[in-house]
Amino acid sequence: MVAVCLFQACFVFKEKAPLTKNSVNIEEFEEIEELPGLDDYGYVKNESVVKEAKVKRNESLYIILRSLDVTPEDIYTIQQKAIGKFNPRRINQNQKYYTYHDAETGTPTRMIFHQTATDYVIFDWSNGIEVETGSKEIETEIATAYGTIESSLYETLVGQGVNMLVANGLSEIFGWEIDFFRLYKGDKFKVIYEKRFVDGKPYGIGQIIAAEFEHRGQIYDAYFYESEEAYGYYDNLGNSVQKALLKAPFKYSQRISSNFSYNRFHPVLKRRMPHYGVDYAAPMGTPVISVGDGEIITSRYNGAAGNMVKIRHNSTYSTAYLHLNGYASGIKEGRRVKQGQVIGYVGKTGRVTGVHLHYNVYKNDRPVNPVKLVLPPSKGISEAELETYKVSIESKKSELEKLGKEESLAEVLN
């Protein structure tokens, strides 16, 4: 017996003596039933009716499963099997999930809960109880953008239909050399980056592959490069375009007495509340240094924070130093400071129980954990790897050079 597929239809024919040499009797073909397709999660399409839903206000995993006729005993088993895979306390209103119902009986058999657009958890009680995690594939395509700034980088990009995350990416890359709060009309940019898609729908951006920024007549370039020895953005000569912040605001190691937390018991207020920084139990008068070059934007007494200094390092990062005993000479708002420069001294001003420094790091004006913050390297490409690096960026340099040239030629011809 032999299977033959013609124009997407499959048949089987029984071998018999041919009517004539090299002939086949079409009457002997028997159609094979086409296999059903699978959905995006790997389940047979025609076996279930799938319904989409969103988490309602005050709904929990327990409430949702009970609405699907899952018994309390099975819900307990599901919760136990979900440990380490899914945190039921992190269910938010309007989160999307899908329920599967038997095509014949309508009985609910499983639920797929999306934690993000890509990551999901499968709760399956169709044959025993299983809890599995999965992730949708992210597709990428290379895209480019270029333009001349009239008002702001953001407005220029969005006006072209480019994701605003490209503007954020450019400011992070070039923010150590260009003050993105003071861009000039006529500044220009070129960028090669990755667009990302999930299920054919836009899903942010991926890596910025290469970029060029012309600011006040000076051209800056950056190329993403990764090897065993290097990772980050470098210019065409192999110099790092990013400067790392110091890991701590002291010249010598100091003990951390209280870590970054979203739910810390406040020793003065006697209640739980976020602690968006790190406390160092340094002795009174210990010199506090700036973790990076920048501009002082706050240098004054500020209520519960006591004597504080806040420094903007670039358009992405800023840091704050609280409860200071006093300020170093010349530390005033509007002044510039260098990395490692003493800005003040550990104290106990403001709402405190003892001597310490409270240290904050902000990324795009949002507090981040200073201890876990991954900062770009400041070291350039090594001499031994420099030639390999230069060869790897040649095609990217060529692509950047092409951007905008056709438009310029058209303007000349017109």
| DSSP collapsed to 3 states, the chain | CEEEEECCEEEEECCCCCCCCCCCCHHHEEECCCCCCECCCCCEHHHEEEEEEECCCCCCHHHHHHHCCCCHHHHHHHHHHCCCCCCHHHCCCCCEEEEEEECCCCCEEEEEEECCCCEEEEEECCCCCEEEEEECCCEEEEEEEEEECCCCHHHHHHHCCCCCHHHHHHHHHHCCCCCCCCCCCCCEEEEEEEEEEECCEEEEEEEEEEEEEEECCEEEEEEEEECCCCEEEECCCCCECCCCCCCCCCCCCCCEEECCEEEEECCCCCCEEEECCEEECCCCCCEEECCCCEEEEEEEECHHHCEEEEEECCCCEEEEEEEEEEECCCCCCCCEECCCCEEEEEECCCCCCCCEEEEEEEECCEEECCCCCCCCCCCCCCCCCHHHHHHHHHHHHHHHHHCCHHHHHHHHHC
| Average pLDDT of span 234-238 | 96
Percent of all residues in the chain with a pLDDT value above 70, rounded to a whole number: 87
What's this model's pTM, rounded to 2 decimal places? Answer: 0.66
Q: What is the pLDDT of residue 32?
A: 56
Q: What is the pLDDT of residue 35?
A: 56
In the chain, what are the domains? 2-31 (no CATH), 45-135 (3.10.450.350), 142-234 (3.10.450.350), 256-368 (2.70.70.10)
Split at pLDDT 50, 70, 90, the class of 341 is: very high
| Average pLDDT of span 288-307 | 94
Q: Kindly tell me if the per-residue pLDDT of 205 is higher than 80.
A: yes
Q: What is the pLDDT of residue 279?
A: 92
Digit-coded pLDDT (tens) for 355-384: 999 999 999 999 999 888 877 667 899 999
Q: What is the pLDDT of residue 392?
A: 97
- Of the segments 169-178, 247-256, 365-374, 385-394, which one has the largest average pLDDT value? 385-394
Q: What is the pLDDT of residue 379?
A: 84
Q: What is the pLDDT of residue 8?
A: 43
Q: Kindly tell me if the per-residue pLDDT of 252 is higher than 80.
A: no
Q: Kindly tell me if the per-residue pLDDT of 17 is higher than 60.
A: no
